Amino acid sequence: MVRINPVNGKKALYVSGYASHIEGMDQEVGCHLLEELLAFASQEAFVYDHRWAVGDLVMYDNRASLHRASEYAIGDFPRMLRRTNVAETQPTL
């Protein structure tokens, strides 16, 4: 569940808040490990919380980011999203 970025060699957790278990591991133990990993990755030192303004553009390396949208009044503040993928020379995993 650790992925090494092929460009810079940095390690990143490859885990999601949507993960239900870890294959091959006792379900209770796996769930606890997932909770611990997400709690670690969500420490304030690792979090970037963007405060949007008109004209903002945010880019991130999806190979090394856990990302979540915060709740907001979508009817009052519509957003336009454009996703661009850049092909790598290696598979994601």
Q: What confidence tens digit (pLDDT) does each residue in 25-65 have?
A: 999 999 999 999 999 988 999 888 888 888 888 888 877 78
Q: Minimal CA–CA distance to 82: which of 56, 64, 52?
A: 56
Count of domains for the chain: 1
Strand partners, 3: 12
pTM of the model: 0.69
Q: What is the pLDDT, as a whole number, of residue 36?
A: 93
Structural domain includes residue 74 = no
Structural domain includes residue 54 = yes
Structural domain includes residue 73 = no
Contact call for residues 50 and 56 (beta carbons, < 8 A) = yes
Q: What is the pLDDT, as a whole number, of residue 33?
A: 93
Domain that holds residue 55: 2-64
